[in-house]
Amino acid sequence: MREGIALLHYSYPPIIGGVEFVIEGHARVLARYGHRVKVITGRGEGEEKNIKVTLIPEMSPAHHKVRVINEELEQGKASDKFYKLKEFLYQKIKKALQDTRVCMIHNVMTMHFNLPLTSALDELIRDLHKRVRFYVWCHDAALTNPLYRPGKPGEYPWNLLGKFNPKVEYIAISRPRKHELADLFGVSPDLFNLVPDGMDIKSFLDISDSIWRIAWDKGIFRDDLVMLFPSRILKRKNYELAMKITKEIKLLNMKCRLLITAPPDPHNPQSSNYYKDLHLLRQKMKLEEEVIFLDDLKGEYGLRLGHSEIKSLYRISDLLLITSSHEGFGIPILEAGATRVPIACSEIPPLLELAQDKALFFKLDEKPSRIAKRIVDYLDLQPTGALFKRVVSKFDWESIYRDYLQDLLRR
């Protein structure tokens, strides 16, 4: 078990809020990688056994004591109530930090919603910084937002919101915010780390566990083009053409994948022989990395290609590719339409009838190199696919951990 990490904010889910969702994402991915995670907060619930939630109700701006103090502060007054609550919070949080070595404070040091808490943390940083590494996450800043007009910015405790503390490491969530905070504190932007916010792509898109693992392990989210061919292993599916197209896209210096879902039919020797032939062709064309037969991964990933997995495959793919020479209908066309996945398919009557002018059609005798170029040009006109790739590869919590959090925690 790795070192203890505390995440600190006014509230935590199920309380709804952007920062709350970020902290939940951090907590889950940190726990997944073996860290002891504690959330110190005023409101919220712990639903996962490997994430401990320590509630200190007075941390919440909604607490009645904080509301009374905020009313006094709006009149420009910091009374005894302010200092008593500050001392109370100091002692409570100090105790909560006893078994931690890293504390990530989200928004509290630059927002005015609970200034006794901000003040208590300022003193805790002063007293504990040699034992605890403090990271101050700046999502927002009251002193740079015209919608907020906190009391007397040049006087205590309001001046804490514009105080740069060299005993902590600062985190900005975007480059514009980084420069905004640098101007506020009067320091160089280089003193701020950049860690973008993220999201739980797997949960948001309801991607199955097995497909998610395959996608990350095989680097699929970092590929330029992922093509899906969901069908049975039959000669009329013309997989050879799909593989030739894949080869030509590779020759365009693009990282591409062709995902083939179907297993061979155990009751049909021709199907099994065709499946073996396709593997030999893949080897001959040197496409072992680019062409993935998902049935080959069943044992390693516990993969069962049911309804959930097929939907998941559409959600991680950039294109439905069908190279069939004959079809009776073409259900994948409907599936792609339902999931808004672009389509490139052979120009045969059933597929023409289904997709009409909403797909890229190619003739079966068209050169694979020309089809490949047409596919690339077709997708270039649809930037949502490229944006999806960017979001998943850079802003999923797995990416945030590997690209940013892991490095911070090694320091």
DSSP assignment of 86-140: HHHHHHHHHHHTTT-SEEEEESTTT--TTHHHHHHHHHHHHHHTTTSEEEEEES-
Preceding omega of 166 cis (within 30 degrees of 0): no
Which pLDDT does position 177 carry in this prediction? 95
Residue 221 tokens read as 């989210």
Can you name the CATH fold of 203-394?
Rossmann fold (3.40.50)
Q: Provide the pLDDT for residue 348.
A: 96
Q: Which residues does residue 40 pair with via DSSP β-bridges, in sequence order? A: 8, 54
| Contact between 345 and 320 (Cβ < 8 Å) | yes
pLDDT at 125: 98
Class of domain 2-200+396-410: alpha beta
Alpha carbons 207 and 385: distance in angstroms, whole number: 17
Q: Report how far Cα 409 is from the mean position of its chain's Cα atoms.
A: 19
What element of type H or E holds 247? helix 239-251
For the chain, how many residues are written? 411
The model's pLDDT over 137-196, given as tens digits with 9 standing for 90+, comes to 999 999 998 888 777 888 999 999 999 999 999 999 999 999 999 999 999 999 999 999
Q: In 10 A of CB 247, how many CB atoms?
A: 20
pLDDT per residue of the chain (411 residues) written in tens, 0 to 9: 566 999 999 999 999 999 999 999 999 999 999 999 999 999 999 878 889 999 999 999 999 999 999 999 988 889 999 999 999 999 999 999 999 999 999 999 999 999 999 999 999 999 999 999 999 999 999 999 888 877 788 899 999 999 999 999 999 999 999 999 999 999 999 999 999 999 999 999 999 999 999 999 999 998 999 999 998 888 999 999 999 999 999 999 999 999 999 887 767 778 889 999 999 999 999 999 999 999 999 989 988 888 999 999 999 999 999 999 999 999 999 999 999 999 999 999 999 999 999 999 999 999 999 999 999 999 998 878 788 888 988 999 999 999 999 999 887
Q: In what order do the strands lie in the sheet with 225-229?
A: 291-293, 256-260, 225-229, 319-322, 343-346, 360-362
Confidence (pLDDT) at 16: 93
Residues of the chain with CATH 3.40.50.2000: 2-200+396-410, 203-394
pTM over 0.85: no
Give the strands of the sheet with 102-106, arranged side by side: 51-55, 35-43, 2-11, 102-106, 133-138, 169-172, 192-194
